[in-house]
Amino acid sequence: MTATYDIQAIRDYRQMKLAGQTAQQSLLSRGQAAIAAAVRSLLAPGSRPAVVDLSEFNIMVQADFDGLKAAGVVAVIIRFSSGAGYLDPRAAVYVAMARRSGLMVGGYHWYDPTIPVTPQETFFGSLIAKFAPDFVGLDVEQWWLDWDAWYAALMGKLDWSKVAKLAGATISNGAQQFMTFLKSKWRALLYTEAYVVQEYSPQMSAWIGTVDCWIASYIKLALVPHTWADIWIVISNLGAGPLLPAGLKQAALWQFSSGFGEPGNSGRLDWSVDLVGWLTGAAVPQPAPPPAPTNVYQLKPVYIYGYFTRTGQGGSIVKWEPAGWSPSVTTVLAGWGQTKDGWINLSYFNKQ
């Protein structure tokens, strides 16, 4: 009998070094509601609303949802299902927790092109009726024909070239049918990545521009944010938008990272931003140009041999600077500052 694997769960599991452990107390339960409120005030008028998405491998408690809401996150998108019969075992409890915290709730389905579309529509539709989300999503990224082969390649037991691919038209036709069904009944997003369309289903480019899209395109984090202030700094410094698939001119949501978690919870989360006000209907202005450097620091006199700038906290060396160097810092994050020549540890500098 052919084994089946749930790709979203596997992907999440690999990203969660500490998956399965009990979540730590969140921002609110540690008595830091005032800090959460202060952090929320960091959201400037042009800031993009933040969103996280969850599955069974994200270990969350009610206090974590409360912390997300208090800090300014507007929505969570919860995996409801995959294939024609797999129900995420945490879907119901996470929907309830998110509702109690006052967050918007979305629900998504992992589309498996090896299974007929109609049974998947029926199954996901039944869960939408049960959980009543504010909006729904369809995750389209599976390109492999055989789950056993894909999993063997993931584990390094089979060369990726040996994993059979689905026909691009099969992926495209099924996804288009599924999205047509969802759009006819609910507010719906298509989740995918540029590489899926480019490498595995270029046929999607013919119609992807007719649906609202949630696009994954990960940034490289110079520093891992550890506080809500750090997280909002990362969000405020995002670029114009994700790498778009052919045929799409504008993404509604941008999933930009899975490299950090909510402060107070050891697990990582997938983070997105609303680029166009799709979630709330409110206009989201384009981000303002980066501010001109205003903070000038000087290397402490004790460092007579100069200083090396780096790509990020603990990162690779970028450039050597001489003793007495006085850089301008444009961004401060977790005790490090960004200069035009790289990142510096501010404990080595005096602010002028």
For the segment 241-252, what is each residue's pLDDT rounded down to a tens digit? 999 999 999 999
To the nearest whole percent, how much of the chain has pLDDT over 90? 56
149, 158 Cβ separation under 8 angstroms: yes
β-sheet bridge partners, residue 89: none
Rounded alpha-carbon distances, angstroms, from residue 343 to 123, 304, 347: 50, 19, 12
What is the mean pLDDT of the segment spanning 293-300?
A: 72
Rounded alpha-carbon distances, angstroms, from residue 270 to 53, 118, 258, 294: 6, 29, 4, 33
β-sheet bridge partners, residue 333: 336
What is the mean pLDDT of the segment spanning 106-132?
A: 98
pLDDT tens digit string along 273-292? 999 999 988 766 565 555 55
Phi/psi zone of residue 281: left (φ > 0), alpha (ψ -120 to 50 degrees), beta? left
Count of residues making up the chain: 352
183, 211 Cβ separation under 8 angstroms: yes
Q: Which has the minimum average pLDDT: 173-182, 299-308, 322-331?
A: 299-308
pLDDT tens digit string along 186-240? 999 999 999 999 999 999 999 999 999 999 999 888 778 888 888 888 888 888 8
First CA to last CA distance, the chain? 70
Report which DSSP code applies to 291: P
- Is this model's pTM higher than 0.75 or not? no
Per-chain mean pLDDT for the chain: 83
Which pLDDT band holds residue 294 (cuts at 50, 70, 90)? low
In 73-92, which positions are buried (b, 16+ CB within 10 angstroms) versus exposed (e)?
Answer: bbbbbbbbbbbbebbbebbe
* pLDDT(321) > 50: yes
CA nearest 296: which of 335, 256, 263, 337?
Answer: 337
Which pLDDT band holds residue 300 (cuts at 50, 70, 90)? confident
Rg over CA atoms, the chain: 22
Residues 6+ apart with CB under 8 A from 200: 143, 165, 166, 168, 171
Residues 6+ apart with CB under 8 A from 251: 213, 214, 215, 241, 242, 244, 275
Rounded alpha-carbon distances, angstroms, from residue 324 to 307, 318, 327, 349: 9, 18, 10, 10
Report which DSSP code applies to 199: I
* pLDDT(352) > 70: yes
Work out the number of other CB atoms within 10 angstroms of the CB of residue 25.
Answer: 15
Rounded alpha-carbon distances, angstroms, from residue 303 to 196, 200, 292, 300, 306: 50, 53, 27, 6, 6
What is the mean pLDDT of the segment spanning 124-143?
A: 98
CA nearest 342: which of 301, 302, 314, 303?
Answer: 314
Would you state the structure tokens that stand for residue 177, as one six-digit string? 């049918």
Which pLDDT band holds residue 3 (cuts at 50, 70, 90)? very low
Domains contained in the chain, CATH given: 7-274 (3.20.20.80), 295-351 (2.30.30)
